Amino acid sequence: TFEPEVMYFIEVGMLFVVGLCMLLALKGFDRVLKNRMRVTAEEDKSKVYVGIYCVRLSLLALPMLLGTYFYYALLVNWGLYYALASLVASLFCLPSVEGVDAEMTIDN
């Protein structure tokens, strides 16, 4: 349906979007959380944590939705591979009680 050059740019662009979203969601979350928890008042920490966590999950939902869209729109398998990679990465983001407690009490 598309020219091969256009398909190449879509595929490479999607690769960079998925990579950047995963990097920001997995590694960037820790940096932002540590910096924000240090300067946030004790009573506002839970609101800040939920807000940052929603952004984190949104960053992982974007490649899932885009990958599924490109799979059905262009009928290429790589769209589902990107969606699956984001789904697996989102499983690493599920918080445990101990993990949330540790992240909420970051002091240094």
The SS3 of residue 45 is helix
Running DSSP on this structure, what letter comes out for residue 105? T
pTM for this model (two decimals): 0.81
Query: Is-contact 48 37, C-beta < 8 A?
Result: yes
* Element counts in the chain: helices (H) and strands (E): 5, 0
Backbone angles phi, psi at 76, to 5 degrees: -125, 145
Query: Tens-of-pLDDT digits for all 108 residues of the chain?
Result: 678 898 899 899 999 999 999 999 989 888 888 888 888 888 888 898 899 999 999 999 999 999 999 899 888 899 899 999 999 999 988 888 888 888 887 764
